[in-house]
Amino acid sequence: MLLSKNWPVGRRVAVVLAATAAAALVPYAVMRLTGRWVAPSSPAGVLLGLVGAAIIFFEMALYVRKKLRRFKGWPPILWNVRLWLWVHVVLGIAVLPIILVHGGYGLGGFVPAATMLLFIATIASGVWGLVVQQWLPQTLIDEVPDETVASQVDRVAAGYIGKKPVVWSADNDRDRTGEVFRLLESLTLEGAEPGEVLPVPGGGAVVAARSEALVRGKPAEELWLFCEGILVPYLERGRASVSPLKSEYDARRRFAQLRETLPAEAFPAIDRLEQLAQYRREWDTQRRVNGWLHAWVPVHLGLSAAMTGLMIVHAVRALKYW
């Protein structure tokens, strides 16, 4: 393969950038040293333009191939999407010197200049996409050890609060049976038989699990206020909330302050609450990285389509007057 998965990320990125730079600069250096420039309208220039156009049309065919992923032809290896993608990358870099030499490293009139600038932007966006595809997955592995499905981050995080009603409106809330409230209940409820339904600060009710409480009085009230006012909104909305738990430093400080008012026996439950906040920060990072991982695709596709359209206009005009 072009880029071995056994290579370090830095080496793979360096290979991509070095290959692109060499493809762009080596032909220029050769023509500069020899003094032999290819004119766009010369037979060699026209031939290079046609070869480049053929490669570009093949590059655009990858989008169609992905849409027809289930289609299988003969021989099977030629219809393998991964192989198409690998060839797409190789030819995408190889077509760069072909088009640059065809244009004589110049821009020409309005249409050729616009086509060339779009072509360069297309190559640049493709190289950027290839680089982030090598780099960001490793970033996810390093920074998000508890990775989940990016599109399900809010649902998974909110599951620690409770179940969402089937019919959702601004006037109702989750049923407060998630792990966060079970931990609070285990620490603060007292004076009840196990299984009895008790009201809790801030409204709502939970089922008592024990008749004694580890945390009583004002510390218990502050613990409920912290969880309902800071932790729960953060778990449900993540970075979109105003919770200070978005910052790892602030989160550590807040939980440290919380532990100062609680007995040591409550620390395991507080550690778990802090871990849930850490999960949410990691998942927010995952969603942000996942956005970067895929955001370049529509840009690359849009530039490619615009460039291909202008290339056809340029080719028709050029061949008409050749």
Question: What does the block give as tokens for 78?
Answer: 């030629």
Query: How far is 313 from 115, CA to CA, in rounded Å?
Result: 9
Tell me, rounded to whole angstroms, the distance of Cα 24 from its chain centroid. Answer: 29
pLDDT at 146: 59
Give me the pLDDT at residue 126, please. 93
The 8 Å CB, 24+ separation contacts for 35-43 are 37/104, 38/101, 38/102, 38/104, 39/104, 40/102, 40/103, 40/104, 40/108, 40/112, 40/318, 41/318, 41/322
Provide the whole-model pTM. Answer: 0.68
Digitized pLDDT (tens) for each residue of the chain, 322 residues in all: 456 666 777 888 888 899 999 999 999 999 989 888 888 888 898 899 999 999 999 999 888 777 776 766 666 666 777 788 888 999 999 999 999 999 989 888 889 899 999 999 999 999 999 888 887 776 666 665 555 665 677 777 778 888 765 444 444 566 777 888 888 888 887 544 455 554 554 445 545 444 467 788 888 889 999 988 899 889 888 888 888 998 889 999 999 999 998 888 889 999 999 999 998 888 888 888 888 888 888 999 999 999 999 999 988 887 776 6
Tokens of 237: 């909305």
The confidence score (pLDDT) of residue 96 equals: 95
Amino acid making up residue 315: A
The rounded distance, in Å, linking the Cα atoms of 124 and 132 is 12
**Tokens describing residue 153:** 């981050």
DSSP string for residues in 95-134: HHHHHHHHTTT---SHHHHHHHHHHHHHHHHHHHHHHHHH
pLDDT value for 192: 46
**CA–CA separation, 126 vs 299, rounded Å?**
9
CB-based burial of residue 50 (10 Å sphere; 0-12 exposed, 13-18 middle, 19+ buried)? middle
